[in-house]
Chain A
Amino acid sequence: MFSRDYRDIVGGLILVLLGLAFSGYAITQYDLGTLRRMGPGMFPAMLGAAMALLGVLQVIPALMRRGQMPEVRIFSPIFVLSGCAAFALTLTSFGLLPAVAALTIVSSLAELEIRPWRLGLLVVALCLIAWLVFGIGFGLNLPMYRWPF
C-alpha cells in the first residue's frame, strides 16, 4: 500500500513525456501547414498534445489517493521476449527449425527451472509441428535448416 497512487503518477508522467516528445518531433521534423491545408506534421502534433493533457489528467487525481503496488515480473518478460528475439536472429541465417528450437529453449527458461528431458521432447515436438504445419501444410517459402558457414 502506498500513501499516493505512484503507479498512476509514474504512468501519467510517462504519457506526458511521450506526448511532448511525439509533438516535438512532429513539429520540428515535418511541415505543419495551416488548419485549412494541413501538412504531415499537424495531426501528430495535435495527438501529442492530447496525450500530454491526458497524462496530466491521470496524474492529478492520483496525487490525492492511496494506491497499490503493481505486480511487476522481471524474468517472465525477459525470457519470453528474448525467446522471440532469438527466433528473429536465427531465422534467416539458420532456417526455421533451429529458430523454433532457439525460441523454445530460451522462452521455457521463464519457468525458472530446467527439465532437460522434457525440454528436449518439447523442442522435437514443436519442430515436428512447425515442419508439418508450415513446411508441408502451407508450403512456406523458407528453408527448414541451413548452415551459413
Chain B
Amino acid sequence: MDIFANLVLGLETALSYQNLTYCLLGVVLGMIFGVMPGIGTLASISMLFPITFYLEPTTALIMLAGVWYGSSYGGSIASILLNIPGTPSSAVTALDGYPMSRQGRGGVALFMTTVASFVGGCFGIIVLIAFAPVIAPHALRFGSAEYFALMLFGLVAASTISAGSMVKGLAMVVLGLMLGTVGADMYTGIPRFSFGFLELSQAVSIVALAMGIFGVSEVITMIRRIKPGDIDPKSVTMRAMIPTREDWRRSWAPMLRGSAIGTFFGTLPGTGPSIASFMSYAMEKRSAAEPERFGKGAIEGIMGPESANNAADQTAFIPTLTLGIPGSATMALMLGALMVHGIAPGPTLLTQQAPLFWGLVMSFWIGNLMLLVLNIPMIGLWVRMLMIPYNLLYPAILMFICIGTYTVNNSVFDIWLVVLFGFLGYVMRIFEWPAAPLLLGFVLGPMMESHFRRALLLSRGDFATFFESTIAATAMGLTLAVVLWGMWSSHRRRKSRILAQNVD
C-alpha cells in the first residue's frame, strides 16, 4: 500500500529542520498563551496567526497546529491549578482536576493529563491516517448542490448542538455569513457592503474578526475579575508529578473509552472536542463503581475527557482537510490559514498537496511528543506565569493583538476593525450570543454562497437540486433532523423550567 510511502513522505517533511523548529515554537508559544488566564485556544491561535504569514504554508499549518494543542493543554493547566477554564472542554477537566490540586495532587493531575492527551491524540491520528484518504476520492464527485447541503448541515449542527440556545446559535451563523458577504461579489466584482471604504472592497480580515471577537472581548470581561492564584508550589514539583500505581490502574480504561468517544465525535461536523469531553465525563461517571467520587478529585474524571478532547481535535481535521468543511471555530481558523496561503482545501488537497497533508499529520505526533516532554521541565514556569496579576497581563495581550493585526496587511484600518469587533464581541456576551458559530459562518460564507448560486444556475433555478442526489438529500434530511431535535430539546427545557418556577 502506498500509505507507507505517504507516511515516510510526511515524516520527512515534518522532520525537516525548519518544520521541527516551528512545531516546537508553536507548541511552546501555544502553551504559554494557553496558560495565561482568560486566553482560550481560539484567542491564542488568532494572536499567533499573523506570525505564520511569513512562513511556507506547510510550516505555517504545522506551527498553528502546534499552537492549537499547546494552548489546549495550557488551558488544562490553568483549569486544574486555578479552576479558570479557558475553553468548554477544559471546564470538564476542572471538575475533577481542581479538587485534585486542592488535595495536593495537582502535579499528578498535570502529568496524567499529558499522558491522556497523548494517548487520545495518537488514537485520533491513526483514524485520521486511515480514513482521510478513503473519504477524499468520494468527495471528488461532489457537485455544488452536495457541497451546499453539507455546509448547511455543518453550520446548523455546529450552532444547534454545541451552543446553549439553537435560535441564538443560528442567528450568529447568519451574522457570520453576512460579514462574509462584505467585499467584491465573486461573479460581478461589485463591492458589497463596503460603504465607500476601499479596505472593505476586498473582504473583512479574518484576523481582525477573530482578535476582536475572541481576544478583545475576553479581556473586557476578565478585567477586575481574575485574582492572581494561590497555588501551593509544593504540589507541582517534579517529584509530586509521579502518579501512583493506583492512578495508572484507574486510568487506562477511561483513556481508551475517551479516545473512542473523541474519535467518533471529532469527525462529525459541528460537535467537536467540547461535546466529546462532556460525553466522556458523563460516561465515566455512569460506568464508575463509586460515582460519588466524581467532582471530588477522581482521576477517571480527567483522563476520559482529556483523551476524548485530544482525539476529537485530531479527527476534526478529517472533514476540514478532505471536504473543506470545518466542524469547529478552531478548524475554521485553520482553514482560513490555508486560504490565506492560497491553498484550496478539499478532496484534491490530499493528492496535490501531499507533503502538506502528510507532513501535518506526522507533525501531530511529533508535537504531541514535544508536549509530553516539555511539560515536565517547564511546569515551574507555568506555575509562576499563573501568578502574574491580570492587570499587568492584559495591556500586554492588547499590545500583541494590535500589533499582530496591523502586521497582517500593514493596515491601520484593520485595527479599527478590531475595535469594532471587540465591541461587537462584548455586546454578544451581554446577549449570550455565541461567538464560535459566527466565525464558522464567516469562513464558510463565501464558499457557501458560490455553491448555492452555482447549483441553482445549473438546475435553472430549481430548488429540487438540493434533494436529488443521495448525499445532498441525506445532508438536508440530517439538517432537518438536527433542527427538530433542537426545537424539541429546547421545548423540554422550557417545560421543566416552567415547572420549576411553579414550584418556587
Contacts and interface: CB of A to CB of B under 8 A. Distances in A.
Contacts of A77: 220, 422-423, 426
Nearest to B397: A107
A58 B167 contact: yes
B178 A126 contact: no
Interface string A85-116: 10110011000100110011001101110000
A38 B181 contact: no
Contacts of B223: 76, 80, 110-111
Interface stretch (B103-111, B184-192, B298-306, B356-364): B184-192
Given A61-B494, A104-B395, A84 B167 contact: no
A54 B461 contact: no
A84 B456 contact: no
Interface string A46-73: 0110110011011001000110001111
Please classify how large the interface on chain A is, using the bins under 10, 10 to 19, 20 to 34, 35 or more: 35 or more
Contacts of B501: 66
Given A40-B188, A100-B399, A70 B407 contact: no
Contacts of B449: 43
For B395, B416, B432, B460, the residue with the greatest tally of chain A CB atoms inside 10 Å of its CB is: B395
B430 A72 contact: yes
A149 B381 CA distance: 45
A25 interface: yes
B433 A103 contact: no
A interface: dominant SS: helix
B433 A92 contact: no
A28 interface: no
A51 B395 contact: no
A134 B410 contact: no
A84 B187 contact: no
Interface in B173-187: 174-175, 177-178, 181, 185, 187
Closest 7 CB pairs of A and B: A36-B461, A40-B185, A11-B431, A35-B461, A88-B415, A54-B171, A104-B395
Given A84-B415, A88-B415, A134-B407, 12 more contacts: A11-B432, A36-B457, A44-B192, A77-B422, A80-B398, A80-B422, A84-B402, A84-B419, A85-B416, A126-B399, A134-B403, A138-B54
Interface of B: 51, 54, 165, 167-168, 170-171, 174-175, 177-178, 181, 185, 187-188, 190, 192-193, 216, 219-221, 223-224, 391-392, 394-396, 398-399, 401-403, 406-407, 410, 412, 415-416, 418-419, 422-423, 426, 430-433, 449, 452-453, 456-457, 460-461, 463, 494, 497-498, 501
7 contacts: A38-B457, A51-B171, A80-B422, A103-B399, A110-B394, A111-B224, A126-B395
